[in-house]
């Protein structure tokens, strides 16, 4: 088994500041990973409910929970289930929620997990280590579906060319083979600043793990479970994630773009569930130098109002 590199929590100080943790408060760490945020939250005197669907993270989470003296509870589940899972433990509301979206360093660094083309491994990419793998998808989906996934989730303009090459090269069962197929389809030149396989791998990972659906559902779950005055902090790593978080906080805070004579502003009938979001925070040069993974990260945060969470009927309106 490949030994993962030490995980460095991204924007840690900024996240802890945004959460405004006080001793005795209840905080949800929706993406436990290696436990970096959870440990810092515990150090600030809070109780933590940590979530992760990855069995490897669950093992680390259970160990930390056992050593925490009862102040950390680990839930082997998706963070979109936070309100339901906590209700089962008698917790109706919490003081803060933090989400660190996307793949973790440990997942990327383990070749056998199949998230990265930097090392050869099985084409897997499943965070939960169950269900459809990336290999299952590329070997069984039709060409148009593969192209759509790569275009939508990888923002790859040449998705149809890549999908055609994937279908022609099937079966594809390793990360190296898939990367080579994509590079050949796009005419990769050695020494180019960005590997052309990057977008395709991102797209397949997002699709296999339903990451954007999970993010949308997780934001709504956080809205339901946060107390008035509670804090939400979300760290994202690419434009698709950040766009969802930004739009969610904009809608829930009643912030709308300025209108025009072609599209006037329509006053929202729904009451704002969050105060105006804080300005987006990005890592400083020193953090990026120490942890290159932080380069693309963005932190967005906001404070919960006392308005009830939007209902499904309101969301459909």
User: Model confidence over 224-236: pLDDT tens digits?
Assistant: 999 999 999 999 9
Residue 60 is predicted with a pLDDT of 85
Tokens encoding 104: 């973790």
Domains 12-106+211-316 and 116-209 share a fold: no
What span, in angstroms and rounded, lies between the C-alpha atoms of 100 and 8? 12
CATH topology of domain 116-209: DNA polymerase; domain 1 (1.10.150)
Calculate what percentage of the chain has a pLDDT beyond 90.
Answer: 74
The pLDDT value given to residue 2 = 41
Q: What pLDDT, in 10s, does the model give residues 138-187?
A: 999 999 999 999 999 999 999 999 999 999 999 999 999 999 999 999 98
Residue 105 has pLDDT above 70, yes or no: no
pLDDT band at residue 43, thresholds of 50, 70 and 90? very high
Tens digit of each residue's pLDDT (9 = 90 or more) over 240-291: 999 999 999 999 999 865 444 444 444 456 899 999 999 999 999 999 999 8
Q: Write phi, then psi, for 173 (nearest 5 degrees).
A: -125, 5
pLDDT digits (tens, 9 = 90+) for 66-91: 899 999 999 999 999 999 999 999 99
Could you please state the CATH topology (level 3) that the domain comprising 12-106+211-316 is classified under: Rossmann fold (3.40.50)
Give the per-residue pLDDT at 309: 96
Domain residue spans of the chain: 12-106+211-316, 116-209
Q: What is the pTM of this model?
A: 0.90
Nearest to 240 by CA among 272, 209, 283: 209
């Amino acid at each position: 088994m490949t030994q993962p590199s030490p995980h460095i929590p991204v924007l840690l100080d900024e996240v802890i500041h945004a959460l405004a943790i006080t001793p005795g408060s209840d905080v949800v760490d929706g993406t436990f990973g290696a436990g970096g945020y959870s440990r810092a939250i515990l150090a600030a005197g809070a109780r933590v409910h940590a979530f992760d669907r990855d069995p490897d993270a669950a093992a680390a989470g259970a160990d930390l929970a056992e050593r925490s003296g009862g102040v950390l509870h680990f839930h082997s589940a998706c963070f979109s289930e936070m309100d339901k899972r906590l209700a089962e433990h008698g917790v109706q509301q919490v003081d803060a929620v933090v989400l660190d979206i996307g793949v973790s360093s440990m997942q990327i660094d383990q070749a056998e997990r199949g998230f990265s083309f930097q090392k050869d491994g099985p084409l897997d990419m499943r965070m939960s280590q169950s269900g459809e793998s990336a290999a299952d998808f590329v070997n069984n989906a039709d060409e148009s579906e593969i192209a759509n996934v790569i275009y939508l989730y990888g923002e790859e303009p040449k998705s149809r060319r890549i999908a055609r090459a994937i279908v022609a090269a099937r079966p594809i069962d390793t990360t190296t083979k898939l990367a080579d197929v994509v590079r050949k389809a796009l005419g990769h030149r050695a020494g180019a600043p960005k590997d052309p396989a990057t977008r395709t791998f991102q797209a397949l990972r997002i699709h296999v793990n339903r990451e954007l659906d999970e993010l949308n559902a997780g934001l709504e779950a956080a809205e339901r479970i946060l107390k008035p005055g509670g804090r939400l902090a979300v760290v994202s790593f690419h434009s698709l994630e950040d766009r969802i978080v930004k739009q969610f906080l904009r809608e829930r805070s009643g912030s709308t773009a300025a209108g025009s004579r072609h599209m006037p502003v329509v006053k929202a009938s729904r009451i704002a569930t969050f105060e105006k979001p804080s300005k987006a925070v990005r890592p400083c040069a020193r953090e990026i130098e120490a942890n290159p993974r932080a380069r693309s990260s963005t932190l967005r945060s906001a404070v919960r109002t006392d308005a009830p969470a939007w209902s499904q009927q309101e969301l459909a309106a």
